[in-house]
Structure 1
């Protein structure tokens, strides 16, 4: 799932460009886009019976209230639901790559006062966010289902204790190197006979003990082919990236 972070000055021309972008993206990816707004001090819908989740279902749609929800959890929910593009409006302090409107100064700005078409053309430049389930859903969208015999998933985490050693955290700050290694490993996985599709995600930045590091999903005609591709990928990932930490 791509995170399309849009922030900056609110102005009729800016709002028109954003609305046009969302409309065009909805045409390109019907049912695969979600929007998250910074509500500021607005009150959230009441959660019935103090339940962590509550929903109101009617003919026009469904409204869901999440008690104690936050932005990260909402992004996870979007990814779990199979959303391809999460559009975040506001939330100026976030560290994601973003499109910025007006005189507002922000880090990681990759587009300044863009048109709707310019944002569409730059979709691949924005950051990724995945859950394991979201990664698998994207994989299922792109493989030849009639030829698929299995899906194999791997979720690697930061192990805290290895023998006598304790790991508090791991740093994955060389983003370009990580992207290159992941792309190379994925390409080699896709060459394994019988493998029909691969999705690969690696978290970046500082990750603490028990944090998710890697999600890998493989679709193959037979389980043996999936196991081979997955084992080779994990061994290579450990040798070329994780053992360098």
Structure 2
């Protein structure tokens, strides 16, 4: 999921640019939006509020035309996680100026991580080019949601996943973090080739693989593999072969940060 925030001063035209950007991004995939607002989405009264006051962590108000999910004390990261679980390809955020998200700024407003400045007349095509240039933010839930949208999902009898994590303790050594570097273009090509080969196997309907780069702390996720298959018998061998091929064929290098020192490791996992 690619994430971009549009920020600007009050009445600068942020919502208009969000509308243009959403319409353009819909040509390339599914879009979810998040708006920073100080207004109450629903009145703090009535039965819905009573549900929350009774202790419900989440309540969903449903009308004939739309629904509103209300979560107590949720923030921007929770909202982004929800869009990821919903399988959105793009998340367009209006506001949240102080966040670390990549931002398109209208005019001279200042904020961290501004990747482009535009005026209120910027076209949807210009905004979409900026949004699509941002790095992907991928979760396992996002990949599972995406694979469920496969045209072949009706043929499926199983979804299998593999998640590689940073092992904190191995023997007497404690790992604080790992750092991964790759030849990005070559790595993407190799991963795509592995996905394509898996899909040629009997019973394998779809395959998605994602490997993170950069610094990853102990206990955090490194790599995701999601496979859609007709039956469980084909699924588990394909998962095993997929991770072994990622380790052997994708040009990714690992540096390990431990309590005993820092060093590069040949085996990436």
TM class, shorter-chain normalised? 0.7 to 0.9
Alpha-carbon distance between aligned partners in 2 of 1:70 and 1:146, rounded to the nearest angstrom: 35
| Partner residue in 2 for 1:7 | 7
Q: Is the 8 A contact 2:160 2:228 kept in 1?
A: yes
Alpha-carbon distance between aligned partners in 1 of 2:86 and 2:9, rounded to the nearest angstrom: 31
Q: Is the 8 A contact 2:176 2:217 kept in 1?
A: yes
| Partner residue in 2 for 1:207 | 216
| Partner residue in 1 for 2:104 | 99
Higher alpha-carbon deviation: 110-119 or 43-52: 43-52
| Partner residue in 2 for 1:38 | 36
Give, in angstroms, the shift of residue 179 of structure 1.
6.3
1:168 to 146, 170, 176: 176
Alpha-carbon distance between aligned partners in 2 of 1:216 and 1:167, rounded to the nearest angstrom: 23
Higher alpha-carbon deviation: 150-159 or 7-16: 7-16
Give, in angstroms, the shift of residue 102 of structure 1.
1.0
User: Aligned pairs, how many?
Assistant: 240
Give, in angstroms, the shift of residue 243 of structure 1.
4.6
2:252 to 234, 241, 244: 241
Identify if the C-alpha distance between structure 1 residues 28 and 159 changes in structure 2 by more than 3 Å, giving closer, same or farther. closer
Unaligned runs of 5+ in 1: none
SS at match of 1:217: strand
- Matching of residues 39-188 of structure 1 within 5 Å: 39=37, 47-113=52-118, 114-145=122-153, 148-172=156-180, 174=181, 177=183, 180-188=186-194
Q: Is the 8 A contact 2:153 2:228 kept in 1?
A: no
Identify if the C-alpha distance between structure 1 residues 225 and 241 changes in structure 2 by more than 3 Å, giving closer, same or farther. farther
Identify if the C-alpha distance between structure 1 residues 222 and 243 changes in structure 2 by more than 3 Å, giving closer, same or farther. farther
Give, in angstroms, the shift of residue 244 of structure 1.
4.4
- Matching of residues 191-206 of structure 1 within 5 Å: 191-192=197-198, 193-194=200-201, 195-206=204-215
SS at match of 2:149: helix
**Superimposed CA distance per residue, residues 172-191 of structure 1 (whole angstroms, 9 cap, x where no aligned partner):** 4x4x6356425412322312
Q: Is the 8 A contact 1:52 1:68 kept in 2?
A: no
Alpha-carbon distance between aligned partners in 2 of 1:72 and 1:177, rounded to the nearest angstrom: 29
Q: TM-score, normalised by structure 2?
A: 0.73
Q: TM-score, normalised by structure 1?
A: 0.79
